């Protein structure tokens, strides 16, 4: 059902946003085990992102926009204030003006955040708003638990990808033995990238990060992918990462005028004392 978000609703939603604790960033680690699982928090988030909505905001604070979008989509948005503050910007009161009709929540969120070079990462129980660069880092370094007992590698990777909203891909060209290797591995509170690396090692394979994908393949192919350069960042990106820093524009500094020099004193000389008026 279409809905037009009003300024009044945004103000009310902003109050709810302020109630979100900072500790929400410390989400519980995602888990993967051998038991058949029902719908996970990650599944719910993905479904919520695929909802179709209509929105309209006119000069509304970013904080209020995200709060109202969360209320409509049933998603929990959390701002990575530590990272954004280090970059000197991303004030929650940044004005957002946007009008979208019948678009997915995912597209609407990208359009909203794109106005200030921001991005997001889907955690297990929340959607973290941060810079594009930090979103990738946090996604790959999110904490997970593993409890695998003789689980085939493809099954283990698929379940972990589902729980963490991450692209974990097994190279279809790897040998049959690697695909059927049963993985037994117990890990507590480890980064996702580390967990995938160890799972690959058990199967005699290697994992390599390609963009926002963890690709499990043979050692030779992994080495080849690591040697290939990433895509070239746009020329207007000063930090070489393709992401500009979120820094609000600053007014130009006034250049002080040089002091008057009526006596024609040369540089480095001491000017004569001023004469007293009679």
Average pLDDT in the chain: 76
> What does the angle CA 169 – CA 218 – CA 32 come to, to the nearest 5 degrees?
40
CB contact burial 95-122 (16+ within 10 A = b; e otherwise)? ebeeeeeebebbebbeebbeebbbbbbb
pLDDT of 152 higher than 90: yes
Model pLDDT, residue 220? 95
More confident residue, 274 or 171: 171
Tell me the percentage of the chain whose pLDDT exceeds 70.
66
List the chain domain ranges.
7-27+40-140, 142-227
The pLDDT of 30-45, averaged and rounded, is 63
Tell me the percentage of the chain whose pLDDT exceeds 90.
40
The pLDDT of 235-264, averaged and rounded, is 45
In the beta sheet, which residues pair with residue 128?
Answer: 78, 121
Spatial distance between the Cα atoms of 150 and 166, rounded to a whole number of angstroms: 23
> What kind of fold does domain 7-27+40-140 have according to CATH?
Phage tail protein beta-alpha-beta fold (3.55.50)
Spatial distance between the Cα atoms of 78 and 121, rounded to a whole number of angstroms: 10
Model pLDDT, residue 274? 55
* CATH fit for domain 142-227, picks 3.40.50.10420, 3.40.50.1100, 3.55.50.30, 3.40.50.300: 3.55.50.30
More confident residue, 179 or 171: 171
Q: How many helices (H) and strands (E) does the chain have?
A: 10, 11
CA distances (Å), 243 to each of 97, 223, 238, in order? 22, 26, 8
Model pLDDT, residue 2? 40
The pLDDT of 224-237, averaged and rounded, is 65
Closest listed residue to residue 145, CA positions, set 133, 134, 131, 159: 159
In this chain, the answer to whether the domains covering 7-27+40-140 and 142-227 adopt an identical fold is yes
pTM here is 0.61
Token code pair at residue 139: 């996604």
Spatial distance between the Cα atoms of 235 and 115, rounded to a whole number of angstroms: 19
More confident residue, 145 or 89: 145
Token code pair at residue 18: 């302020």
Spatial distance between the Cα atoms of 204 and 131, rounded to a whole number of angstroms: 35
Orientation of helix 192-202 relative to helix 153-164, angle to 10°: 170
């Amino acid at each position: 059902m279409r809905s037009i978000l009003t300024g009044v609703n945004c103000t009310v939603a902003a109050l709810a946003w302020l109630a979100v604790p900072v500790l929400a960033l410390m989400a519980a680690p995602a888990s993967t085990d051998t038991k058949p699982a029902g719908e996970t928090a990650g599944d719910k988030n993905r479904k919520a992102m695929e909802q179709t909505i209509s929105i309209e905001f006119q000069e509304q604070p970013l904080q209020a926009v995200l709060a109202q979008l969360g209320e409509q989509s049933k998603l929990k948005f959390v701002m990575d204030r530590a990272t954004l503050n280090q970059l000197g910007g991303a004030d929650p009161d940044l004005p957002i003006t946007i009008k979208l009709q019948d678009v997915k929540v995912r597209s609407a969120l990208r359009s909203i955040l794109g106005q200030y070079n921001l991005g997001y990462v889907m955690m297990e129980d929340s959607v973290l708003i941060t810079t594009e660069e930090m979103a990738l880092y946090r996604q790959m370094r999110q904490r997970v638990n593993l409890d695998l007992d003789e689980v085939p590698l493809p099954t283990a990777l698929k379940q972990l990808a589902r729980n963490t909203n991450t692209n974990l891909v097994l190279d279809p060209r790897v040998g049959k033995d690697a695909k059927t290797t049963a993985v037994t591995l117990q890990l507590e509170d480890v980064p996702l990238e580390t967990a995938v690396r160890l799972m690959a090692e058990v199967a005699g394979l290697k994992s390599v990060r390609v963009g926002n994908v963890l690709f499990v393949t043979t050692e030779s192919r992994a080495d080849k992918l690591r040697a290939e350069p990433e895509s070239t960042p746009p020329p207007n990106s000063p930090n070489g990462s393709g992401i500009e820093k979120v820094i609000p524009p600053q007014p130009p500094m006034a250049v002080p005028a040089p002091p008057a020099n009526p006596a024609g004193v040369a540089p480095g000389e001491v000017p004569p004392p001023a004469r007293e008026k009679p």
